[in-house]
């Protein structure tokens, strides 16, 4: 197969490779390069070394704010989404009737796109705040907690499904053995069930982490108009597209430098995840 297939590179690989080059390989390389330049458009770039990176931490006031907001948002999301999703999974694996219906309902929000989702919640949150005569832009913490609620609504069902799969993988005998040993339900939960679903916990933690960290559409739709509630992805977007005028070239370079830092942060997370899941897999 090897030999005869080898000649078919143009048919089998080239189409994807061309698309991949245009949408990833070239833009990625160009993106790294441009982060060290000032540019109005890609073909008018001038090398400025680390100026863009320095500007992020000196002149630009939004990046560190966005980073801190993203970290807080990610942290709160991981905790709330996983605790609620895991509790739901526990309730839905007790052999009750109609669990299929509940699963269907809880999972559904996950499929609705971020933009639509953001606007639905924008309407609801502004509707509630309307009773007090304010809206979501009134206080940054409204925007923050609005995002947390939205994230929970979207991600809980998803994580619940993964936890259910993990819980169903635990052999029944283990629970039976624990109850024969006289373990209380709480004891069983903490010393048997949770340790046994640690692989699912790891997966869900990193999924929530990645999804929260990279959140964009929901953020744009819900908090697009309010200042001080931009997460990293939205902050980068605004750095590129909200600046106009004379210093556009500088801000383009800065935006690209932010994107590189953003990429490095995500890469570190992915690397830690790889190590974490890799180790877990050998343990089990």
Partner 1 sequence: MAAIKFRNVVKSFDDGKVTVIPDLSLDIKDKEFVVLVGPSGCGKSTTLRMIAGLEEISGGELFIDDKKVNDVAPKDRDIAMVFQNYALYPHMNVYKNLAFALRLRKMPKKEIDEKVRWAASVLEIEPYLDRKPRALSGGQRQRVALGRAMVRNPKVFLLDEPLSNLDAKLRTEMRSQITMLHKRLQTTFVYVTHDQTEAMTMADRIVIMDKGVVRQFDTPQKLWSEPADMFVAGFIGSPGMNFIDCLIVRRGESLCAEFAGNRLRIPSAKVKMLEPYEGKNVVLGIRPEHISAYTGGINTRESCVITVKADIAEMTGGDVNVYFNLGESRCIARIGTEKKISAGDSVPLLFDGNSAHFFDKVTSKAIGI
Partner 2 sequence: MKAKQKVFNVAVYTVLLLLTAVFLAPIFIILMNSVKGNFYISDEPFSLPLGEKFVSFDNFLKGFTQSDFLQAFMNSAIITVLSVAGIVVLTSMAAWYIVRVKNRLTKMLYYAFTFSMIVPFQMVMYTVTYLAFELDLNSIWGMVFLYVGFGSGLSVFMFSGFIRSIPAEIEEAAVIDGCDPIRTFFLIVFPILRPTAITVAIVDAMWIWNDYLLPYLILGSGRNRTLPVAVQMALTGGYGNKDMGALMAMLVLAIVPIIVFYLFCQKYIIRGVVAGAVKG
Nearer to partner 2, 28 or 190 (CB): 28
Give residues in contact with partner 1 (CB under 8 A): 1, 3-4
Task: Choose one: 56-64, 75-83, 136-144, 154-162; the region binding partner 2 (CB under 8 A).
Answer: 154-162
Q: How far is the CB of 3 from partner 1 (least distance, A)?
A: 6
Helix H or strand E encompassing 279: helix 248-283
Nearer to partner 2, 196 or 260 (CB): 260
Cα–Cα distance for residue pair 78/151, rounded to 1 Å: 10
The correct pick among 76, 263, 276, 280 for binding partner 2 (CB under 8 A) is: 263
Look-up of token digits 């994230």: 151
Chosen from partner 1, partner 2, none, partner binding at 96 (C-beta under 5 to 8 Å by type): partner 2
Q: Is 217 in the site for partner 2 (CB under 8 A)?
A: yes
The correct pick among 165, 170, 196, 248 for binding partner 2 (CB under 8 A) is: 165
Cα–Cα distance for residue pair 216/223, rounded to 1 Å: 10
Cα–Cα distance for residue pair 13/271, rounded to 1 Å: 28
What residues numbered 20-49 form the site for partner 2, per CB under 8 A?
Answer: 20-28, 30-31, 34, 41-42
What residues numbered 55-94 form the site for partner 2, per CB under 8 A?
Answer: 88, 91-92, 94
Nearer to partner 1, 3 or 284 (CB): 3
Cα–Cα distance for residue pair 110/158, rounded to 1 Å: 7
Q: How far is the CB of 259 from partner 2 (least distance, A)?
A: 5
Q: How far is the CB of 143 from partner 2 (least distance, A)?
A: 15
Q: Is 203 in the site for partner 2 (CB under 8 A)?
A: yes
Give the other-Cβ count within 10 Å of 191's Cβ. Answer: 12
| 39, β-bridge pairs | 45
Look-up of token digits 């200042």: 227
Backbone phi, psi, residue 274, to 5°? -60, -45
Tallying the residues shown for the chain, one arrives at: 284
Nearer to partner 1, 4 or 173 (CB): 4
CB 67 within 8 A of CB 234: no
Sign of the CA dihedral running 48, 71, 66, 259: positive
The correct pick among 221, 229, 238, 251 for binding partner 2 (CB under 8 A) is: 221
Q: Is 251 in the site for partner 2 (CB under 8 A)?
A: no
What residues numbered 87-146 form the site for partner 2, per CB under 8 A?
Answer: 88, 91-92, 94, 96, 102-116, 119-124, 126-127, 130
Q: How far is the CB of 11 from partner 1 (least distance, A)?
A: 17
Cα–Cα distance for residue pair 97/1, rounded to 1 Å: 52
Chosen from partner 1, partner 2, none, partner binding at 31 (C-beta under 5 to 8 Å by type): partner 2
CA triplet 240, 246, 252: central angle to 5 degrees?
Answer: 25
Backbone phi, psi, residue 25, to 5°? -55, -55
The SS3 call for residue 171 is coil
Chosen from partner 1, partner 2, none, partner binding at 76 (C-beta under 5 to 8 Å by type): none
């Amino acid at each position: 197969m090897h030999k005869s297939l080898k000649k078919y590179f143009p048919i089998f690989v080239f189409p994807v490779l061309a698309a991949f080059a245009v949408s990833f390989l070239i833009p990625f390389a160009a993106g790294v390069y441009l982060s060290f330049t000032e540019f109005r458009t890609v073909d008018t770039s001038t090398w400025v070394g680390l100026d863009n990176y320095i500007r992020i931490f000196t002149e630009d006031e939004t990046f560190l704010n966005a980073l801190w907001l993203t970290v807080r948002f990610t942290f709160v999301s991981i905790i709330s989404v996983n605790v609620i999703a895991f509790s739901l999974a526990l309730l839905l694996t007790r052999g009750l009737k109609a669990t299929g219906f509940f699963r269907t309902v809880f999972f559904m929000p996950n499929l609705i796109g971020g933009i639509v989702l953001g606007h639905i919640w924008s309407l609801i949150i502004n509707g509630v705040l309307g009773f007090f005569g304010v809206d979501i832009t009134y206080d940054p913490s409204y925007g923050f907690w609005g995002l947390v609620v939205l994230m929970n609504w979207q991600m809980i069902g998803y994580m619940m499904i993964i936890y259910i799969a993990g819980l169903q993988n635990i052999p029944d005998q283990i629970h039976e053995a624990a109850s024969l040993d006289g373990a209380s339900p709480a004891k069983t939960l903490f010393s048997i069930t949770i340790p046994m679903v640690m692989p699912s916990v790891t997966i869900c933690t990193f999924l929530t982490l990645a999804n929260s960290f990279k959140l964009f559409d929901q953020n744009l739709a819900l908090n697009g108009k309010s200042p001080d509630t931009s997460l990293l992805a939205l902050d980068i977007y605004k750095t590129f597209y909200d600046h106009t005028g004379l210093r556009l070239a500088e801000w383009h370079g800065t935006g690209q430098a932010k994107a590189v830092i953003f990429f490095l942060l995500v890469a570190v997370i992915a690397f830690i995840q790889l190590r974490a899941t890799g180790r877990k897999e050998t343990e089990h």
